[in-house]
């Protein structure tokens, strides 16, 4: 699955159209509250401009309806922040493929950067429209995909644009190359024992991941609210815990399929008031013995200890989804114990984006794991074993 990277093509004097993920959070004053996604794109951006390329960046931000400009979804704050990080001017187009964008692309000099306005202001982006893609493709001599967070999607900028640029260089940026290396190698060629840790609220969100990983992993550890659906499937009492009653039969099937590979919690940390976790009554009970009026909010200490011992012996660990309500102590203890075990292990450790990435960062272990994915949905899709058209059609490393 190795693809040719931006570093491997000549960009001097050429225009590179790069898909980035500048979908950054903005506050009510349209100020960026977390610029991590912009900072993560800097290596690929610098690879182009430091070698004399002319760079055109395209991204989405938020979910506008494809009906034209909306200030609250404008990429202008991202362009401004990028200029600050690069310590050089970054041009901003007022549209995506129309007169202003074309004029500003034509005015680029070697080493210059231009940010196009939000792709999703155009209905053609989400529809994968070939005509919209052709207009984008006509602006550049090469295409680079550095937006892993949208690699599982078939938006125009991800699939139709590189298709329209057949015959021109089509490569991955540093970020996507790293994601592919870790995630595809973990699935395709894991060092063993290979342990997957899956949490989160719903079994339904992780069905395909659990199914796929049960066929690949040596152990799959379950936590989070979805554990209570498994508990219900085993005839346990779950009190007021979040469960998917319509997924009980599915949970039974997964238990049968998983056998000794599937590890479920043996105890649960409960509370009697989700809205006041700090002040409510709390207790630890065996799995399947949550009383009425109480709610499971975290794996218990014995489960956390057992999971930590399994993780300690692993050579590859993939983690997607927290073990409990990690944002609210003391229900962060299960997630914290698992995170600590991963950080302390010698395993190749991959944190699968979303809440897991937030947890590992919040708990201070981000620099003690091998890789933190930038795309929750994309990393989940890759763990399911999905093929990504947005990556497959790019140039192979040996091409």
Which tens digits make up the pLDDT trace of 78-101? 999 999 999 999 999 999 999 999
CA–CA dist 377, 189 (Å, integer) = 22
pLDDT digits (tens, 9 = 90+) for 113-126: 999 999 999 999 99
Starting from the edge strand earliest in sequence, which strands make up the sheet with 219-222, in order? Answer: 262-263, 219-222, 194-198, 316-320, 348-351, 371-372
Write down the pLDDT at residue 1.
Answer: 60
202 counts as catalytic: yes
The counts of H helices and E strands in the chain are: 15, 17
pLDDT in tens, 18-27: 999 999 999 9
Catalytic-labelled residue, pool 4, 19, 37, 170: 37
d(CA 360, CA 308): 15
Catalytic residue among 202, 252, 282, 328: 202
Model pLDDT, residue 2: 84
In degrees and rounded to multiples of 5, residue 269 shows phi and psi of -95, 120
pLDDT of residue 398: 82
Residues 49 and 34: their CA atoms lie apart, in Å, by: 24
pLDDT at 330 over 90: yes
DSSP labels, 73-106: G-SHHHHHHHHHHHTS--EE-SSSSSHHHHHHHH
> Of 10-14, 33-37, 388-392, which one has max mean pLDDT?
10-14
Minimal CA–CA distance to 79: which of 93, 96, 64, 95? 93
Which CATH number, 3.40.50.12500, 3.10.450.50, 3.40.50.300, 3.40.50.1260, labels domain 181-383? 3.40.50.1260
**Active-site residue, selected from the candidate residues 236, 296, 354, 376:** 354
Rounded Cα distance between 374 and 295, Å, is 31
Which fold would CATH assign to domain 6-174?
Answer: Rossmann fold (3.40.50)
Per-residue pLDDT tens for 343-366? 999 999 999 867 888 888 888 888
**What average pLDDT is seen over the chain?**
94
Question: What's the rounded mean pLDDT across residues 158-170?
Answer: 98
Q: How many CA atoms lie within 13 A of 337 on its CB side?
A: 21
**Token pair listed for 162:** 């590189």
Evaluate whether 132 touches 94 at the Cβ level (below 8 Å): no
Locate 134 and state its tokens. 């052709």
Positions of CATH 3.40.50.1260 in the chain: 6-174, 181-383
Q: Determine the average pLDDT of the residues in 260-270.
A: 98
| pLDDT exceeds cutoff 80 at 325 | yes
% of the chain beyond a pLDDT of 70 = 99
354 is catalytic: yes
Q: Which residue's entry shows tokens 């912009």?
A: 38
Out of 52, 111, 377, 385, pick the active-site residue.
377
């Amino acid at each position: 699955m190795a693809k040719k990277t931006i570093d491997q093509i000549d960009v001097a004097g050429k225009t590179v159209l790069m898909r980035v993920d500048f979908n950054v959070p903005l506050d009510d004053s349209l100020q960026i509250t977390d610029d991590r996604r912009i900072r993560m794109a800097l290596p690929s951006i610098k690879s182009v401009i430091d070698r004399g390329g002319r760079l055109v960046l395209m991204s989405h931000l938020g979910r506008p309806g494809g009906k034209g400009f909306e200030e609250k979804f404008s990429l202008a704050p991202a362009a401004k922040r990028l200029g600050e990080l690069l310590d050089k001017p970054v041009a901003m187009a007022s549209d995506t493929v129309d007169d202003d964008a074309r004029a500003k692309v034509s005015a680029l000099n070697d080493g210059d950067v231009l940010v196009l306005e939000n792709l999703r202001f155009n209905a053609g982006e989400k529809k994968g429209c070939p005509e919209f893609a052709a207009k984008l493709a006509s602006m550049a001599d090469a295409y680079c995909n550095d937006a892993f967070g949208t690699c599982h999607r078939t938006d125009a900028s991800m699939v139709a644009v590189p298709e329209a640029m057949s015959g021109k260089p089509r490569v991955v940026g540093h970020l996507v190359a790293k994601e592919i290396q870790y995630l595809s190698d973990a699935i395709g060629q894991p060092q063993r024992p290979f342990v997957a840790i899956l949490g989160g609220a719903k079994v339904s969100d992780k069905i395909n991941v659990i199914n796929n990983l049960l066929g690949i992993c040596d152990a799959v550890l379950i936590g989070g609210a979805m554990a209570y659906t498994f508990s219900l499937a085993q005839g346990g009492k779950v009190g007021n815990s979040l469960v998917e009653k319509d997924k009980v039969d599915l949970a039974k099937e997964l238990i049968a399929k998983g056998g000794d590979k599937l590890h479920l919690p043996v105890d649960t940390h409960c509370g009697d008031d989700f809205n006041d976790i700090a002040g409510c009554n709390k207790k630890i009970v065996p799995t399947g013995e949550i009383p009425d009026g109480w709610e499971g909010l975290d794996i218990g200490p014995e489960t956390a200890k057992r999971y930590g011992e399994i993780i300690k012996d692993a050579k590859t660990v993939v983690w997607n989804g927290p073990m409990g309500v990690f944002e609210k102590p003391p229900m962060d203890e299960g997630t914290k114990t698992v995170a600590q075990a991963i950080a302390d292990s010698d395993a190749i450790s991959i944190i699968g984006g979303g809440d897991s990435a937030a947890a590992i960062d919040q708990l201070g272990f981000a620099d003690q794991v091998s890789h933190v994915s930038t795309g929750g949905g994309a990393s989940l899709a890759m763990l399911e074993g999905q093929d990504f058209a947005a990556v497959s059609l790019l140039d192979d490393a040996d091409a």
